[in-house]
Amino acid sequence: MLYPFMTLNDETEIVHSEIIEKDGRETVKVVIEKPVMNGFHSAVCWLPDNEWENVNGFTPQEIQNHQEMIESAANKIIESARTRRQ
């Protein structure tokens, strides 16, 4: 399940998973979606490693901007994900 974290002025939604145990480590899946004509731009970033995957529609500069924002909020995102742990 994904949980809302932030909505940007351009209607980009940032959501995250609960803590996911992966290879004995805690990770959090962060999904970014921006509505555009006929669909969405989307991307996935895994914290704490800041590994990106499934980038669709975003430019490299947009991903860099999102990366900076996610890095600055990573502790809050991870803490929020911990509160969702079942």
Banded model confidence at residue 23, pLDDT cuts 50, 70, 90: confident
The predicted model scores a pTM of 0.91
Count Cβ atoms below 10 Å from residue 39 Cβ, excluding itself.
11
Number of domains in the chain: 1
pLDDT at 86: 54
Phi, psi of 13, deg, nearest 5: -105, 135
Q: What does the pLDDT look like over 29-85, one tens digit per residue? A: 999 999 999 999 999 999 999 999 999 999 999 999 999 999 999 999 999 999 876
Question: Which residues have a Cβ under 8 Å from the Cβ of 16 and sit 6 or more positions away?
Answer: 2, 3, 5, 28, 29, 30, 31, 77, 80, 81
Give the range of the structural domain holding residue 14, as residue numbers without chain letter: 3-83
